[in-house]
Amino acid sequence: GVTGIFVGCRYSVSVTMLSEISPINRRSVSVFSIKLFWALGGMFETLVSLIVLRKYGHKYLCFITAIVGILALLLTLLMNESPRWLLANGHFSQALKVIRRAGAQNKCKKYEAKASVVSETAPPR
């Protein structure tokens, strides 16, 4: 129950963050990929459930499912904050770091242009 709610909420946040950070020319493929792997993961979970329930019972299935929730929580802690949220709330230097990191990971020079816009629009200190 709780794991399902958490992972479901995490899914919508993941799609939003992925579409926000992905380069425009790869955005649709990125979002499609996360949706595809979500569906494949659901099918895999069903198969694992059938095997575990028959062989070990529901307690082990609940334990295995809890592990997935814990991993999702730990991965959430590693995620960057949304650059749009950071900008909207005046955290310009953090937004700049996130945008530059995304550009480096995607090997995309366009992110450097976005980062320069962020640094130019930041209020003086």
Each residue's pLDDT tens digit, 37-87: 888 988 998 999 999 999 999 899 888 888 877 887 788 788 788 888 888
The CA-to-CA distance between both ends of the chain, in Å, stands at 47
The overall average pLDDT reported for the chain is 79
Question: pTM to 2 decimals?
Answer: 0.57
pLDDT of residue 52: 93
Q: How far apart are CA 62 and CA 47, in angstroms?
A: 15
CA angle 26, 29, 33 (to 5 degrees): 135
pLDDT of residue 125: 54
Specify whether the CB–CB gap between 61 and 53 falls below 8 A.
yes
Mean pLDDT over residues 106-114, rounded?
64
Tokens of 95: 């937004």
Tokens of 62: 């609940």
